[in-house]
Amino acid sequence: MSASAALRRGLLSDESIRGLRQSYVESGPYKHVVIQDVFDTELLRRVRLECLSALHATYKETDIYSVFQTGDLANLDGLPEDELRQVSALKTLRDTLYSDAFRAFIENVAGVGRLSPSKKDLSCNIYKPGCHLLCHDDVIGSRSVSYILYLTDPDEPWREDEGGALELYPVIAKGTPATNPSVTIPVKWNQLAMFAVQPGLSFHSVAEVVADEGRDRLSISGWFHVLQDDDLTDEERASRQERSNAGDAAPASLEQIVSSTGGKPFAPTLPAGDDSAWVDDNGDVVFLSADEVDELRRFVNPLYLKPSVIMQANETFASQASIQLTSFLRDDVADQVRDAIEKDDERCGFFDERLSPAVYDSGVVDGVWTPTGPPHIRRYVELAEQNARDDNESGRVLQALRDDLFKSSHAFRHLLYLITSFRPVVERGAVRRFRPGLDYTLATSTPAPDPTTGDVFDGVLDATLCFVANGDDVWASDEVGGFECYMVPDDDNEDPAQYRAAADVADGTLSVSAGCNVLNLVLRPTGVMKFVKYVSASAPGSRWDVAWEYRVVQDIADDVAEA
């Protein structure tokens, strides 16, 4: 089948191109176009069947996506003849997409200049229930135009409430997308969405699929690339180098994530107190004083204030560089928190059947809970520094933990020191709510010390007090996300598109499940990356936490000694 026969009649006509070009130019939040009924229906039916029966899709899960994906379909030509016959319709589709006629069509509609005739880049993606792709700008290598061709079941049309929509984000500053998308493009059979890839501008995501089991969002997605070196004349190659040297584009979202250190700066705002009293003249660590124990008993389970338990925790942390302290708060305090967050989750409808599209202002309360982004790095709602309302119970009880324990308690810092043998130097932190179907953080790196500025430390100690209202066993399975993952990046992987392959997560240093009333202590050396996995719409509520980070130095001391 020729390219012209595979496409809808009249699609490549001058009149069609003028209309689509106008739609493209007038679109927002950045230029894009959605084209209906692009290919011959019978051809696409065969393509869909071949994708489901002849291709092998591998499940891939990273911080930014969960999806089933085939290999690069550009390599079909290398298949043995008998295997190639099994994907003949798919090869026709690929050859049509990258034909001279269709490439010229894309060039004219998008106004991007000449595209490479030699580089093909496409794959089949299957979004099963729970699959998603978070906010990014697609800027990797020589990509110029991104496209998605939808191959959902033509006989049972996809419904908007099944999710999987393409979401486009406006930018609030160069390279910084708004927290929420402004345009949503629903899924539709034989529909092609496309946009020019632009650093720091073309931010988009794929909403989680929330359809019933067996209802999959199938698509062919890929890119047209700029002219490759082999496509250029010497004059064109020199001109490109000149333009590259003069460029002032915003950093790509991938570059921003890799270089990000995770949000607000560390501040030397630790509570006043005499840290030197933590070690006696003999070099022994001094246990909590009676006054410190009395102060901590307001919140902390008395079990964790016993010298024998602290020593045992110290041994565990010394060998593993991490520890989970379950039932960390007193029962009455934990019950108060759990009751408050359960009421908030119920008020937001998170215990009801989850439907798409997501309600982005769920849980946002003026003066109390504010959206935090940007979404190509993180999205959650955060408790305001000054809670403006006493009638928000979750804000009130979590503010008390933040302000009276994590922020201002020298005794709490002493307890952390006894458990970890690391002395906090500077800190930062937040009270966060990760809402189902909405929130996450992407992998950010632990920064290196900088002795030239006096910024010297031995690592970062994460102290995260986590809460969930319901479904403890479901959270413990990690199947609904919300877990915190620590991993070492793969320096040997040269393809930035795959720098967070699924194997990296599986082989990471640590994965910490969400739970209720659990204090997670983790020491992060320089270079270790961490993220909170996207919380699925199927989760039994929100993940809430008081998340504190301390830059720490290690003291070499002997046994714990009572004051």
> Are 184 and 267 members of one domain?
no
Name the amino acid, one letter, at 400: A
In 404-528, where do the E strands start and end? Answer: 422-434, 440-441, 444-445, 459-467, 484-487, 510-512, 518-524
Measured distance CA(75)–CA(64) in Å, rounded: 26
Could you say which DSSP state residue 362 is in? T
**339 domain-assigned:** yes
CA 234 to chain centre: 41
For residue 499, what pLDDT is reported?
A: 34
**86 domain-assigned:** yes
Of 435, 395, 461, nearest to 535 by C-alpha is 435
> Are 223 and 93 members of one domain?
yes
CATH code at 433? Answer: 3.60.130.20
For residue 506, what pLDDT is reported?
A: 38
> Are 302 and 390 members of one domain?
yes
For residue 151, what pLDDT is reported?
A: 98
For residue 461, what pLDDT is reported?
A: 96
Please give the residue range of the domain that contains residue 517: 259-561
pTM for this predicted structure: 0.91
What pLDDT digit, counting tens, does each position of 186-210 carry? 999 999 999 999 999 999 999 999 9
For residue 392, what pLDDT is reported?
A: 86
Name the amino acid, one letter, at 208: E
- Say how many C-beta atoms besides its own lie within 10 A of residue 293's C-beta: 17
> Are 165 and 45 members of one domain?
yes
> Are 423 and 524 members of one domain?
yes
For residue 78, what pLDDT is reported?
A: 85
> Are 214 and 267 members of one domain?
no
Say if CB 47 and CB 95 are below 8 A apart.
Answer: no
What pLDDT digit, counting tens, does each position of 278-316 carry? 887 777 889 999 999 999 999 999 999 999 999 999 999
**62 domain-assigned:** yes
H helix and E strand count, the chain: 15, 27
The residue from 228, 247, 269 where one domain ends is 228
Of 461, 373, 378, 458, nearest to 416 by C-alpha is 461
**Residue 256 dihedral angles phi and psi, to the nearest 5°:** -65, -40
> Are 48 and 167 members of one domain?
yes
Tally the domains of the chain. Answer: 2
For residue 505, what pLDDT is reported?
A: 34
Pairing of strands 176-177, 171-173: antiparallel
> Are 215 and 311 members of one domain?
no
pLDDT tens for the chain, 563 residues: list them: 666 789 999 999 999 999 999 999 999 999 999 999 999 999 999 999 999 999 999 999 999 999 999 988 998 988 899 999 999 999 999 999 999 999 999 999 999 999 999 999 999 999 999 999 999 999 988 999 999 999 999 999 999 999 999 999 999 998 999 999 999 999 999 999 999 999 999 999 999 999 999 999 999 999 999 999 888 877 767 766 665 555 454 444 445 554 455 566 666 656 666 677 788 777 788 999 999 999 999 999 999 999 999 999 999 999 999 999 999 999 999 999 999 999 999 999 888 766 567 889 999 998 899 999 999 999 999 999 886 567 789 999 999 999 999 998 999 999 999 999 999 988 999 999 999 999 999 999 877 776 655 566 788 999 999 999 999 999 999 999 999 999 987 655 544 333 333 333 334 578 999 999 999 999 998 889 999 999 999 999 999 999 999 999 887 555 554 44
Residue 51 structure tokens: 């994708």
Say if CB 546 and CB 429 are below 8 A apart.
Answer: yes
